[in-house]
Structure formats: C-alpha cells, structure tokens
Structure 1
Amino acid sequence: MKISLSVAFLMFGTATACFAQSATKQTCNVEVDITDTDPNGTNVRATPGGDVITALKNSSSDGWILVHLTAQAGDWYEIDRAKLIDSNLPSGEKIIFQGAGYLHKSVVGVSGMQNGGVVYRNHDIRTEPIDAHAAGDQPVELLGCWGTFLKVHVRKGIGWTEHACTNMNTTCV
C-alpha cells in the first residue's frame, strides 16, 4: 500500500511539474509591431530582463518594425527576427534582427483589428466569438499569444484572434 501511494504521488508530482513548465513558456507563431517610441531603439535582451544584445531602430519616417513572436514567458516575448517594413525599400522590408532574443510586453502591440475579423472566447476557432465582426479601427491591447492566436482586449471584451492588424500606417479595413 505504501509503495502504491508513493508511486501515485510521484506520478502526480511529475505531471504537475510538466504542466507548470508548459505554463511558464507558451509557444506561438505570430507577428506584432514594435510600439516603443524611444529614439534610441527598442532593447532586445538575451534572456527575460537580461543583458541587451541589440537595439531595434526604425530608420524610416514612413516605416515600422514588425517582430515575429515564438513564445511568451510571463511579461516577456521571445522573438527570432525583426524586420523594418517600408514601401521605399526595394522589397518593402528589410531584416534588422535574426536570432534569439526577448522583448518586454510594454514595447509591442498591434495597430488594430482587421475589419470584420473575429475575436473568440478561447484560442480555438470552434469556440464562441465575443465579437464576430470586429471593427478595424478600434483600440486593441495585446495581452498574450498562443499558437497562431493573439490574446487581445477589444471593445467587447478579452478574447483571442488571428485577425489583428499590424500595419502601422493604415487601418486594416
């Protein structure tokens, strides 16, 4: 009996530890904007709160910086690349960072919603929408990421979307 309880406890303890690890770093695959207005650029760090490895600077008056999020760990987003978006560039964009780095949640966001986009209750298109036809010009607060979904706060509440606007020069209507 003692052995069975010990094994059950160890099995439960292992499952709890695995769940805790997955909750601390959530993988995602989305792009968002740098919203930081610091003229010295936005610091990319080696680890959450760690040493600065580079600063992302917008060298264009008409462009903006788009970053690819690969994970979220608390208030920090892991990135693997950043690009300057500018119609004056030959291809319309230029990679300005590639590698592993972290950005604080306070320096990234989205410019709005794609007009008519859907915001769901959960990060699954099979869940009930909280907004089935979101207005494109509404304020949107970025709260997190999960897979291809962004967790956002919009007029109708907090939910998950794949239809955020990342065009800093115009609304996605």
Structure 2
Amino acid sequence: MIPTRILLLTLMLAAPHAVSAQAPGRDACNVEVDITDRDPHGANVRAAPGGSIVTALKNPAGDGWIVVHLTAQQGDWFEIDRAVLIDLDQDKEQGKESVIFQGRGFVHRGVVGAGGLQNGAVIYRDHATSSAKLDGHASGDQAVELLGCFGDFAKVRVKAGIGWTRQLCTNMVTTCS
C-alpha cells in the first residue's frame, strides 16, 4: 500500500508542474498586423517577452510600412515568425515586399496595430463566426486598437466596442475595400 500512496503523491505533485510547463495565457493565432511604432530606431523584436533584443524592425527608406505575422499572444506580448517590409515605388500603386525578419521573436502590443478595417468588416462578440455580431458592416476608415489575437481573429477596440474580426486592413496607404 505504501508504494501506491507514493505513486499517488508523486502524480499529484507532478500534475501542477506539467501544466506550468506550458506558457500560461498563451493563445495561438494566425494574424497579420502592421508595425505602428514611430521610433526612428525601429520596433524591438525580443527573444522572449521582455527579454533581450534580437533585432529592430525599421523602414530605412521611410516610404512603405512593415507587416508582421502573429503566431501567438502571451499577455501584452505577441510572438511573431516573420516581418515583411512593404517598400513603395512612387510610380506604382503596390509596393515591393521583402522579408526583413524570419524566426521566432516577440513584440510588445504597443508597437503593432492596423491602419483600419476592410470596408464592411464584420466584428463579432467572440472569436467565432457563429457568435453574435457587434457590427455587421463596420466602416473601414475608423480607428482600430489591436488588443489581442486568437486563431484567425484579431481582438480589436472600434467605435462599436470591443470585438473580434478577421478583416484588418494592413495597407498603410489606402483603405481596404
């Protein structure tokens, strides 16, 4: 009987450690957003939330913008796996894209966002298309504050309130329609 008690005690003690080995509050996502940081030195990409700086994402020409791919959120930090510089050519409507970061890194929520919404975007109350709509036909040119991400959805604050959408506009030159 003693070995059973020891086994049960071992399992009870090991269970909380197994759960804590996973990142608490980490939500996987698949969302593209803009770097909105205006710092001329660029937006810092870190090795871990609040950790050492790996690189700074900056637009050397000043024309264009940077789009990052969010793969997860942990508190106020977003995990990214790539950043793309959209460099505008003055004679063309669309810019040239070049990857400026690839790998695993973290950016703070304060340096990312969206230029707006796609015109007619649907804002849901939860991160599922089956949830109630907060706004069934949102204006594309309104202010959008990025709050989080989950799956293919971005959590945003817009005129109608706080909700979830898959229709961010990551074009810093024109509205998305």
Structure 1 unaligned runs (5+)?
none
1: distance between equivalents of 2:155 and 2:24?
Answer: 15
Q: 1:22 to 1:131 in 2, by over 3 A?
A: farther
1: distance between equivalents of 2:105 and 2:75?
Answer: 15
Instruction: Give the deviation of 1:24 after TM superposition.
Output: 1.6
Moved more, 45-54 or 79-88: 79-88
> What SS does the aligned partner of 1:138 have?
coil
Alignment of 1:50-89 (within 5 A): 50-88=51-89
Q: 1:79 to 1:118 in 2, by over 3 A?
A: same
Q: Match of 2:170?
A: 166
Alignment of 1:148-163 (within 5 A): 148-163=152-167
Contact (CA 8 Å) 1:114, 1:172: kept in 2 or not? yes
Q: Match of 2:139?
A: 135
2: distance between equivalents of 1:129 and 1:20?
Answer: 36
Q: Match of 1:117?
A: 121
Structure 2 unaligned runs (5+)?
none
**Given residue 88 of structure 2, which amino acid in structure 1 is its aligned partner?**
S
Q: Larger Cα Rg: Structure 1 or Structure 2?
A: 2
**Given residue 61 of structure 1, which amino acid in structure 2 is its aligned partner?**
G
Number of equivalenced pairs: 167
2: distance between equivalents of 1:91 and 1:171?
Answer: 15
| TM-score normalised by L of structure 1 | 0.86
- 1:99-146, CA deviations, whole angstroms, 9 ceiling, x for partnerless residues? 111001000000111000100010000111100000001001000000
- 1:20-67, CA deviations, whole angstroms, 9 ceiling, x for partnerless residues? 946521100111000000001111110111110111111233200000
Contact (CA 8 Å) 2:86, 2:95: kept in 1 or not? no
1: distance between equivalents of 2:165 and 2:67?
Answer: 18
Partner of residue 104 from structure 1, selected from 93, 101, 108? 108
> What SS does the aligned partner of 2:33 have?
strand
Moved more, 134-143 or 19-28: 19-28
